[in-house]
Each structure stands twice: as structure tokens, then as C-alpha cells.
Amino acid sequence: MEKPKRDIQTRTIHGGDVERYGDAVILPIFQSSTYLYQGQTEYEALRYIRLNNTPNHRVLHSRLADLESGEAGLVTASGMAAISAALLAVVANGDHMIAQGTLYGGTYDLLVRDFPDWGISCDFANPQDPESWESLLRPTTKLFYVETVSNPLMQIPDLGAVTQFCREHGLLAVTDNTFATPVNFRPLEHGFDVVIHSCTKYLNGHTDIVGGAVIGKAEFIARANRRLLHLGGCLDPHACFLLERGLKTLVLRVHHQNRSALEISRFLSKHPQVERVNYPGLEGCGDERSKSLFEGFGGMLSFELRGGNESVHRFFSTLTIPLVAPSLGGVETLITQPAVTSHSALSTEERESLGIRDSLVRLSVGIEATADLIADLGHALDASAG
């Protein structure tokens, strides 16, 4: 009998195939690099941590697939390991891909600095302008890559146009859903073929591991897994355990962060020291049709501060709750200047052309009381004016 589809809040705790060991309610950490040989005849069937198939991996594979409405899932050693394994399962020497211009800096850097060395080329598209995409197509184009909410400008591309374009031209539609999380948007339910996460962020939620995930059709995940096994990007079982634990509170955290970030965005957009706020929950930020598919807009926002670098330094040094650090998606509020952290690998010209100025500040809203965060931000904004 087919299991009834339960709410995502229940599925973060009970979803997927849970194996029980020794009557333990919680899956223990299987800290064994290898397992007894059971007559397997295929390499990938051997039980070994690098082959990503210990009980700690298997529970995550099925739970993540369940949360993103996919056939199969794969956990990886980092978000970048997920991105490289997924992309290299599709593109090879001589192939071409299209990607959205404003991406996480590491992904952008992989596409412009590493892929050309391996004979893979990439053209960048304006995600809000579908008319311009056809001119980028080549006979060797294999996929279109976007972020459902882009880092750090929080743009939501025209997601329906991306999947339709991919169907019309036989491309794989791949998206990084790290910022949205499956709580707010599940891309596979809306025509995407492959979903990627940096689990370092919201899925784990506690800023204590680095991990990644790829979710999609079983046949695709098998291909990505083969790439991963030889690139060596497996997640260790202790990190798997922490990720499984973190996932259980994903919905509670994200619902709070959705509400808090919206309230903070509204506050910031009225403050005289703030020139512009980027948050998809505000009117005029991102594609309206795509936004109607979202159940919330997440805990990430960015804003331009008046007064340039000096003002940013005064602002950061006055804050008492947000910690000045890169990364995002944890229970504590983090604040950063993308030009010197997540996007520092880009040249000043590249950053300017993408709209990432030095005065841009990115806030990852944690689960502290919203009123305390607003009071602290307000005080530091007043001080930033000098």
C-alpha cells in the first residue's frame, strides 16, 4: 500500500526509509570505514565510507529525496562537491552550459575559472529576460543552471520560463535551492530535473558542519554518485549524523526565519541609512509569477548602506547580536559584506557588473527574537551615519 503523503513537518522527522538498529530511536553514528564483504560483485555495492553507503548516508539519501519530492538523493562533502558532481555528471570536454549571472561566488568561479581548463564552456544569462536565452544556445549546450533565490541579491528568476526553455531545447534544468529550502519551494514539483543544496546552511542549520546534496531522478543520481566516488567528495558519518539531527527542526526554523526576515526587511526599507533592500518577500523584488509558487521567502536578505565602506565598518562594529562572519542559514544571525567574503574571488569589475557593490551587506536571519534584532540593527544603523 502506498504511504499517505504527509506534511513536510512530519517528513523532516519520519520521512524516507529509516533503519532501526538495536531498538535505538535515533540512528547511531556508524564510525566504521569499511564493512564485511558479503559477496558483492560490483564496486559500488561494497560497503565503505567513500562509497557513500553507510546507514548514516542511506537515511539521508532517502529523507532528502522525500523532502524535495525526488526519486533519489545523494549527500556530499560540501555544497561545492554537490555542484561539481552534479554538473560533471552532465557536461564533459566540448560541452556547453548556460547559467544565471548572479550566482554564489564559488559556483561562478568554478564555471569561469575551472571548467574552461576541462574544455567546458558556460554563457551567463539574464534570468529575468527569457527572450535573450535562445541566442546563447549551441549544439553542445547541455544544461541551464540557476539558483531559486540568488546569492547575494535575492533575485528569484523566471523559474517557469527556465523549465519550459529546457524542455523545448532538450536541456537539463538544474537549480541550487539552498536559500529557499524545500520548506519554501520544491523545484522538482515545478519542472526542474535536478536540485542541489549546500547542507552547510539551512538543512543542517547549526553552523557546525559542511555538507551538500543532490536530488533528482534515480538514474541521474547514480551518475552523479559515480562522479563523486572518484572525485572523493563523500560526507563523513559524524557529519551525516549531525545533518540528520539538524534536519528535524528545519521547518520550525525556516517558518520563524521567514517571518522574522520579512519584518526586518520592512524595518530596513524605511530606515534613512538604507538605500535599497533585497528581499523577495517585498514588492518589486524578483519575478512575481515565480514568487507565487513560494510558500515563504526565507531568512536571507541584503541591503545597500549609505556612506560606503566606512559606514559599513561603523555599522558592523556597533552590532551586538549578529556575528560578522561568512556563511548563512544557522540559528544565529550572521552578517557579511559579500564583496570581501562570498564574492571576493570575483574582480571588482565582475562584482560591479553583477550589482554587488562594496556597500552591499548580507544578513542571514537566525532564530533570535525579531524585536531584539530590529533594535540592534536600528541602533547600529544610526551609528553608521557617523
By CB under 6 A, is residue 74 in contact with ligand PLP?
no
Annotated active-site residue in 176, 193, 236, 287: 176
Distance of CA 284 to the CA centre of its chain: 23
By CB under 6 A, is residue 79 in contact with ligand PLP?
yes
The burial of 384, by beta-carbon neighbours within 10 Å (0-12 exposed, 13-18 middle, 19 or more buried), is given as: buried
Contact residues for 65 (Cβ-Cβ < 8 A; gap 6+) = 16, 71, 72, 73, 215
By CB under 6 A, is residue 80 in contact with ligand PLP?
yes
Cα dihedral across residues 73, 75, 78, 84: positive or negative: negative
Annotated active-site residue in 66, 104, 158, 236: 104
Would you list the DSSP string of 215-245?
A: EE-HHHHHHHHHHHHHHT-PPPHHHHHHHHH
Q: Does the annotation count 358 as an active-site position?
A: no
Query: Closer CB to ligand PLP, residue 83 or residue 161?
Result: 83
Q: How far is the CB of 334 from ligand PLP (least distance, A)?
A: 11
Scanning 2-10, 171-179, 215-223, 253-261 for contacts with ligand PLP by CB under 6 A, the matching segment is 171-179
Return the closest-CA partner of residue 243 out of 212, 287, 274: 212
Q: How far is the CB of 198 from ligand PLP (least distance, A)?
A: 3
Q: How far is the CB of 386 from ligand PLP (least distance, A)?
A: 31
Query: Measured between alpha carbons, how far is 179 from 262 in angstroms, rounded to an integer?
Result: 14
Q: Could you give the string, one character per residue 181-200, with x where binding to ligand PLP holds by CB under 6 A and - elsewhere?
A: -----------------x-x
By CB under 6 A, is residue 176 in contact with ligand PLP?
yes
Annotated active-site residue in 35, 47, 48, 50: 50
Scanning 78-86, 135-143, 159-167, 363-371 for contacts with ligand PLP by CB under 6 A, the matching segment is 78-86
- One residue of 52, 54, 78, 257 binding ligand PLP per CB under 6 A: 78
Looking at residue 112, the DSSP 8-state letter turns out to be: I
By CB under 6 A, is residue 109 in contact with ligand PLP?
no
Q: Does the annotation count 50 as an active-site position?
A: yes
- One residue of 84, 100, 151, 359 binding ligand PLP per CB under 6 A: 151
- One residue of 127, 212, 233, 299 binding ligand PLP per CB under 6 A: 212
Asked whether the beta carbons of 110 and 116 are under 8 A apart, the reply is: no
Scanning 1-9, 76-84, 136-144, 350-358 for contacts with ligand PLP by CB under 6 A, the matching segment is 76-84
The cell numbers describing 219, all together, are 538514474
Return the closest-CA partner of residue 281 out of 171, 273, 271, 269: 269
By CB under 6 A, is residue 244 in contact with ligand PLP?
no
Per CB under 6 A, contacts with ligand PLP among 266-285 are: none
Query: Measured between alpha carbons, how far is 299 from 348 in angstroms, rounded to an integer?
Result: 27
SS3 194: strand
Asked whether the beta carbons of 89 and 143 are under 8 A apart, the reply is: no
Asked whether the beta carbons of 339 and 351 are under 8 A apart, the reply is: yes
Task: Count other C-beta atoms under 10 Å from residue 214's C-beta.
Answer: 31
By CB under 6 A, is residue 175 in contact with ligand PLP?
no
Element (H, E) at 268: helix 250-269
- One residue of 66, 68, 147, 244 binding ligand PLP per CB under 6 A: 147
Asked whether the beta carbons of 336 and 342 are under 8 A apart, the reply is: yes
Scanning 17-25, 33-41, 174-182, 267-275 for contacts with ligand PLP by CB under 6 A, the matching segment is 174-182
Q: Which residue is nearest to ligand PLP (CB)?
A: 79
Annotated active-site residue in 63, 142, 201, 227: 201
SS3 320: coil
By CB under 6 A, is residue 106 in contact with ligand PLP?
yes
Query: Closer CB to ligand PLP, residue 66 or residue 147?
Result: 147
Q: How far is the CB of 346 from ligand PLP (least distance, A)?
A: 14
Q: Cis bond leading into 272, ω under 30°?
A: no
Q: Does the annotation count 201 as an active-site position?
A: yes
Distance of CA 17 to the CA centre of its chain: 24
* Residues within the interface to ligand PLP (CB under 6 A): 78-80, 104, 106, 147, 151, 176, 178-179, 198, 200, 210, 212, 342
The residues carrying an active-site annotation are 50, 104, 176, 201
